[in-house]
């Protein structure tokens, strides 16, 4: 692959004794939608601020489009559009005026900026509201205006910090669809930070899981779940009709080749195995005469990955 458009090397930021971002390495390719996933206070926003040169890292470097963000923040900011998590506009100005101001700060001539702003208002679905003061906008409208505000400077990269916070579900879907569409059509690289895993799962090509200032894992969802759960482990769930005397079945299953552990709870069996031996297990259960109700191989979504990382199982995380 060619040169990554965002390259972070050993990026570290300390606030006193607290290490907000700890030796972060990350590279993102052009045109990618990357999701930075982590709980609140994981250091996502700090990382973004360092990428824009708004905060100085304690050590390490952030290169955006080959430009050092710490040394030359103005050049970086020319290429990057940043949507902060709680975007503010000048409330006593109209939406159009707010956009034109941003455009002018990017040295776009006024007549060109006006045309562009009109087109963007169409695009984000706010046509008709451009001459209303932004103080009257709803949260969702502000967020969409924020997207227009980011796009008016023709960025190569857009960075969205918690872009879906406080929008209703339908609004979120629309907003994310818009981002994906834009990224695909105009070949814009998108970095999206969020703690909403479902949203990230839907739109991102790749995600990085970021906890306590460290990037614990990165990759697409499939490879992440493989990395985490399929380390020689398949989980198969089976439901049986009668639970009495099922201990016999349990021992029978346990003796099968490739099975690591079996647990029985009420009418449900959970079988951990090294290989995919679903078919054999089905055969054994049917032959035992306990009556197979259902059999399924467990698939892992981002949800499970997330839980694995964030909520408990710290020891597991450390081994990964």
Partner 1 sequence: MWKPSETSAPHPFQVMVYKEMSDHVRSWRFKILLLLILLTCMSAIYISVTNFSAAIKAEDPDGSFFFLKLFTISDKTLPPFHIFIGLLGPLLGISLGFDAVNSEQNAGTMSRIMAQPIHRDYIINSKFVAALGLISVLFFALGFLVMGLGLIFIGIPPTPGEFIRVIFFILLNILYVAFWLNLSILFSVRFRQAATSALASIAVWLFFVIFYPIIINLVAKGLIPAGEASPLQMVHYQELILNLQRIAPSQLFSDATVTLLMPSVRSLGILTMEQVYGAIPAPLPVTQSLLLIWPQLTGLVAATVLCFALSYFSFMRKEIRSR
Tell me which residues touch partner 1 (CB under 8 A). Answer: 45, 49, 52, 54-55, 74-75, 77-78, 80-82, 84-92, 101-102, 104-110, 146, 149, 153, 161
Q: By C-beta, is 110 or 293 nearer to partner 1?
A: 110
Q: By C-beta, is 60 or 146 nearer to partner 1?
A: 146
Q: Are strands 33-37 and 189-194 parallel, antiparallel or unpaired?
A: parallel
CB of 124 to partner 1, least distance (A): 16
Run of H or E residues at 307: helix 302-310
Alpha-carbon span 126 to 132, nearest angstrom: 10
Q: By C-beta, is 14 or 202 nearer to partner 1?
A: 14
CB of 129 to partner 1, least distance (A): 18
CB of 153 to partner 1, least distance (A): 7
Per the CB < 8 A criterion, the answer to whether 78 and 105 are in contact is: no
Alpha-carbon span 210 to 22, nearest angstrom: 10
| Long-range contacts of residues 113-122, Cβ cutoff 8 Å, at least 24 apart | 113/152, 116/152, 117/148, 117/152, 120/148, 120/151, 120/152, 121/95, 121/96, 121/148
The CA-CA-CA angle for residues 121, 5, 309, to 5°, reads: 90
Q: By C-beta, is 53 or 302 nearer to partner 1?
A: 53
Q: By C-beta, is 155 or 271 nearer to partner 1?
A: 155
CB of 32 to partner 1, least distance (A): 21
Per the CB < 8 A criterion, the answer to whether 298 and 235 are in contact is: yes
CB of 110 to partner 1, least distance (A): 7
Per the CB < 8 A criterion, the answer to whether 98 and 135 are in contact is: no
Q: By C-beta, is 56 or 299 nearer to partner 1?
A: 56
CB of 82 to partner 1, least distance (A): 4
Of 29, 34, 25, 26, nearest in space to 2 by CA: 29
């Amino acid at each position: 692959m060619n040169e990554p458009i965002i390259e972070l090397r050993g990026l570290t930021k300390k606030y006193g004794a607290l290490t907000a971002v700890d030796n972060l390495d990350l590279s993102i390719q052009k045109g990618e939608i990357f999701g930075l996933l982590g709980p609140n206070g994981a250091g996502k926003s700090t990382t973004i601020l360092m990428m824009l040169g708004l905060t100085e890292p304690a050590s390490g470097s952030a290169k955006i489009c080959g430009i050092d963000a710490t040394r030359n923040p103005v050049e970086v900011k020319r290429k990057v559009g940043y949507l902060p998590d709680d975007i503010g506009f000048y409330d006593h100005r109209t939406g159009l005026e707010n956009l034109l101001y941003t455009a002018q700060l990017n040295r776009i001539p006024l007549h060109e900026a006006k045309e562009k702003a009109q087109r963007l208002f169409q695009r984000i679905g706010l046509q008709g509201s451009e001459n209303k003061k932004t103080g009257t906008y709803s949260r969702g409208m502000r967020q969409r205006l924020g997207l227009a505000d980011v796009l008016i400077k023709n960025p190569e990269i857009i960075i969205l910090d918690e872009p879906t916070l406080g929008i209703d579900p339908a609004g979120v879907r629309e907003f994310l669809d818009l981002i994906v569409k834009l990224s695909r059509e105009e070949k814009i690289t998108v970095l999206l930070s969020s703690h909403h895993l479902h949203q990230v799962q839907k739109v991102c090509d790749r995600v990085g899981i970021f906890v306590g200032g460290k990037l614990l894992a990165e990759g697409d969802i499939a490879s992440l779940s493989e990395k985490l759960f399929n380390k020689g482990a398949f989980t198969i769930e089976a439901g049986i009709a009668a639970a009495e005397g099922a201990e016999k079945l349990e021992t029978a299953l346990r003796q099968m080749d490739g099975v690591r552990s079996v647990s029985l709870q009420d009418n449900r069996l959970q079988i951990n195995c090294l290989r995919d031996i679903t078919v054999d297990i089905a055969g054994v259960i049917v032959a035992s005469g306990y009556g197979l109700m259902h059999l399924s191989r467990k698939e892992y979504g981002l949800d499970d990955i997330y839980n694995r990382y964030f909520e408990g199982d710290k020891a597991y995380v450390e081994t990964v």
